[in-house]
Structure 1
Amino acid sequence: MRRTLEDTYRHKGLRKKLIDVIKEKGITDETVLEAMNAIPRHFFLDSAFDDVAYEDRAFPIGEGQTISQPYTVAYQSQLLETVPGQKVLEIGTGSAYQAVVLAKMGLKVFTIERQKKLFEENKKFTYLKQFPFIKFFYGDGYQGLPTYGPFDRVIITAAAPEIPQKLIEQLKPGGMMVIPVGAGNVQQMRRLHKQADGTVNEELFDNFSFVPMLAGKN
């Protein structure tokens, strides 16, 4: 991937317009908006996308994966209702944009990618060196990271046909998971609250379209 790692006045202006767009769509969490306004999204894309990097849409990043639409990133981040210092498990690192948004929000991020090529690409991505509180793992998202749990929050950035039980087990009592659920082309965003006795309450939100969450490593 050929990256542009210069953040110009033009980029900053386009980013501000993007933030205005996602605010108009209903994102109100200032911590989320400030984090996204501070992060050069064009760094996470091939330089060929430089002119369109701040449009509110997803783009391909290789290996059949995408960088999510900014509104979707903001929506999931807002639903997490985080507090700085919390531990977050992310399933599906992809471009690492969502992980960096969470890190900018003051969270300790543990993120798993099943595509070896994307995992290796992120190891070479110098911008990510600024974020020591992001820990990158190559592995199967369905297994989570039991050694590093339990987590205050879990975010899944791919379409899960069903809720993975192992990830529920790695969530702290009182913790929350945000996950798009559905096997077809459209998924419903859900937020799960784990109770002190281990039971789970579920809230249903809007529909989105994600790439599928697959088991194993590639």
Structure 2
Amino acid sequence: MAAISNNSDMVDYLLAGGYLDYVTARAMRLVDRRLFVPQDATPYAYFDIPLHIGYDQTCSAPSIVAIMSWRLGIKKEHRVLEIGTGSGYQTAILAKLAGKVVTMEMIPEFVEKAKKNVKNAIGSIGNITFIQGDGTRGCKEHAPFDRIIVTAAAPKIPSALESQLAPAGKLMIPLGNRDWQDLLVLSKSTGKMESILPVMFVPLVDEEGF
């Protein structure tokens, strides 16, 4: 990754590694990761590593963002709930894939910063609703959701999130302990869980988190 110096090359690297499909790649090309990391981290913006963004939180590695965005099978007609806005990087990519995105963040400072980051990166934020609050409770007023993506680790699936899934909806979440997790996708229609890959996420610290 040291030789990769721009966003397009980073996406080419992810494509070559099989981390995403062409639809997701197209969305990621429109969202420059450099605009979502702190100034002192910009030299590493296109490295496939997580980067600290403050408050013990990180902007996930591009390969993880790519896999999560791709494997959820997001379509333009979908309404998506994101738990854990962070710097807004994943949010912006979701906004390019889905018709409507609701994103929730517990840390107030991140909400305003993410709004600015996303607007700076993609111009319009008209299809995104930013909410500050406990993500484990979901967002009943905007439910049901076709897709729910949780970007922090939890010991179990928060009951409110599962109840807010549409009948054919899917929920992606890293489940496990504080040290390691399994990235899982729950299909509401079948009740089955698909394991994607082992991961290490920061812990979900809301009501039904750690």
Q: What is the TM-score when the length of structure 1 is the normalising length? A: 0.87
Q: 1:151 aligns with which of 145, 150, 154?
A: 145
Q: 2:46 aligns with which of 54, 58, 82?
A: 54
Corresponding letter in the other structure for 1:56? D
* 2:115 paired with 1:127: no
* Contact 2:80–2:98 under 8 Å retained in 1: no
Kindly state the Cα deviation for residue 15 of structure 1 after the two structures are TM-superposed: 1.5
CA deviation digits over 1:159-209, x for unaligned, max 9? 0111111100000001101111011311101010001xxx62111121011
Q: What is the match of residue 203 of structure 1?
A: 194
TM-aligned CA distance change 1:124 to 1:81, over 3 Å: closer
- Aligned-residue sequence identity (percent) comes to 37
Give, in whole Å, the separation in 1 of the partners of 2:112 and 2:7: 27
Kindly state the Cα deviation for residue 29 of structure 1 after the two structures are TM-superposed: 1.5
Kindly state the Cα deviation for residue 131 of structure 1 after the two structures are TM-superposed: 2.0
* Contact 2:88–2:115 under 8 Å retained in 1: no
Flag structure 1 segments of 5+ consecutive residues without an equivalent. Answer: 1-11
Give, in whole Å, the separation in 1 of the partners of 2:107 and 2:35: 20
CA deviation digits over 1:141-172, x for unaligned, max 9? 11000111000000000001111111000000
Flag structure 2 segments of 5+ consecutive residues without an equivalent. Answer: none
Q: 2:88 aligns with which of 96, 101, 104?
A: 96
Give, in whole Å, the separation in 2 of the partners of 1:33 and 1:124: 23
Kindly state the Cα deviation for residue 84 of structure 1 after the two structures are TM-superposed: 0.6
TM-aligned CA distance change 1:121 to 1:169, over 3 Å: same
Give, in whole Å, the separation in 1 of the partners of 2:145 and 2:206: 21
TM-aligned CA distance change 1:28 to 1:215, over 3 Å: closer
Q: What is the TM-score when the length of structure 2 is the normalising length? A: 0.90
Q: What is the match of residue 184 of structure 2?
A: 190
* 2:199 paired with 1:212: no
Give, in whole Å, the separation in 2 of the partners of 1:107 and 1:45: 25
Give, in whole Å, the separation in 1 of the partners of 2:62 and 2:151: 12
Kindly state the Cα deviation for residue 127 of structure 1 after the two structures are TM-superposed: 1.4
Kindly state the Cα deviation for residue 72 of structure 1 after the two structures are TM-superposed: 0.4
* 2:70 paired with 1:78: yes
Give, in whole Å, the separation in 2 of the partners of 1:22 and 1:40: 14
* Contact 2:111–2:132 under 8 Å retained in 1: yes
Corresponding letter in the other structure for 1:200? G
* 2:163 paired with 1:172: no
